[in-house]
Structure formats: C-alpha cells, structure tokens
Amino acid sequence: DQQVKQNSPSLSVQEGRISILNCDYTNSMFDYFLWYKKYPAEGPTFLISISSIKDKNEDGRFTVFLNKSAKHLSLHIVPSQPGDSAVYFCAATAYGQNFVFGPGTRLSVLP
Amino acid sequence: DAGITQSPRHKVTETGTPVTLRCHQTENHRYMYWYRQDPGHGLRLIHYSYGVKDTDKGEVSDGYSVSRSKTEDFLLTLESATSSQTSVYFCAISAFSGNPGELFFGEGSRLTVL
C-alpha cells in the first residue's frame, strides 16, 4: 500500500502557464515533505521542502502548499518553462530518517 | 554538487550471478540509502544505513544485502541476481542530525539481468 501517492502520471502545460503537481499521503506521522526533480539519466535533485508546521513554502517560481487535514500537498510552478520538463517526485519523512517517495509525475512544458 | 559516486554506472549480468554496486561519498554524511527506480513505482527504499555497521531494511529488501564498513562506502549486493532486479539503482546520502534534511542522490547504476 503506497504511503505517498501521485495520482497523475503525466501533466502537460503551456510555457508561461502554471503547473500544479499533486501529492497525497496516508501516514499521519510524516512531518516533513519534499519535492524532487529528475531528468533522464540523472539522479533526482532536491527542489523544495515544507515542514508539517507550515502550510506554504515559496522559493522563486516554486511554491509548495500543505493541507495536513486532507493529507495533501501540491507543487506550483509559475511561470512554467520548457526546462521544467522532468519527472517530479513527492517524498515524505517522519523524523528525517526514512524518505518515502511517490511514483512520480512527468511534466511536459510545451513551448 | 554532493560528492557521491556510484559504480558501476551500467552493468549487464546473467540470472544467478552475484552483483555488487558501490556507493562512495566524500561528504562524511551519516545516513546512506539505496533506492531502486521502476516505472509506476517511483523510488523504493531497499536498505539504508545510519552509521558504520548499522543498517536496516527498507520496503523492498528481499534479495538484497548491504554492508557499510566505512563511513564513505555503502555496498549493495545481489547474492543471486534475478530478472526482477533489473532496475536503476540510486544511492543517496543525508546529513540528518536531528532536523530533517534533504537527500542527495548519485547518478544511478543501471542494472540489467538477462
């Protein structure tokens, strides 16, 4: 049973528009959430994170929102750029030891 | 970039043969992890280590063993490789010291078991 779910395997958006990637989790013990970006033939790279005591964290074009009551988080990318095309993984951890990843969402930003 | 090196980067082997993947870090981070990436499953934890000689199982540990005799090296061994272990394997490190940190990943090792 997946503890971290990303129900959209893929997403396509136009350049300049907003990309919204969603993630749901089931384990209420998770207290820290992260988003990773992965290009083909490379390792995942850290993008942005949020602690469970916050509901929003922003870093440039990237914003992560956390809704603890719904066990849901989302990553907003505004404006989307062709270089953002990649697979995005949502991850969660309890106490920072084990990191559980979702299956990923492939984002395609169309010029 | 975090100093993580995985070797080999690509390997083709036959069913039943032993395989060892190596992860080497230069960051002196305490935590090291082995994940496998498969379509539809994302990244799944195989084993992790929280110090020299201290390891624990992840969600997909069957058929794998690990060893960590030095802080900088974390070895993943497939005692008898099977076709279901064809995957891309990623090593990751974390500087966890009481506060959640981020994982830094290596570039991956692509293993094909024929």
Cβ within 8 Å of A, B 58-97: 58, 90, 92, 94, 96
Cβ within 8 Å of A, B 22-51: 31, 33, 35, 40-45, 48, 50
CA-CA distance, B95 to B27, in Å (whole number)?
A: 9
Q: In residues, how long is chain A? A: 111
Would the pLDDT of B99 be above 60?
no
CB A38 within 8 A of CB A101: no
User: Among A49, A89, A55, which Cα is nearest to A70's?
Assistant: A55
* Backbone phi and psi for residue B84, each to the nearest 5 degrees, phi listed first: -70, -10
User: Which of A27-36, A96-105, B20-29, B84-93 shows the lowest mean pLDDT across its residues?
Assistant: A96-105
* Residue B26, burial from CB neighbour count under 10 angstroms (0-12, 13-18, 19+): exposed
Tens digits of residue pLDDT in A88-99: 999 999 877 788
Would the pLDDT of B46 be above 60?
yes
pLDDT at B1: 58
Q: Is the peptide bond before A79 cis (omega within 30 degrees of 0)?
A: yes
Tens digits of residue pLDDT in A58-83: 999 999 999 999 999 999 999 999 99
pLDDT at B113: 97
**CB A34 to CB B102 under 8 A?**
yes
Q: CA of B7: how far to CAs of A63, B20, B91, in Å?
A: 35, 9, 10
CA-CA distance, B13 to A82, in Å (whole number)?
A: 37
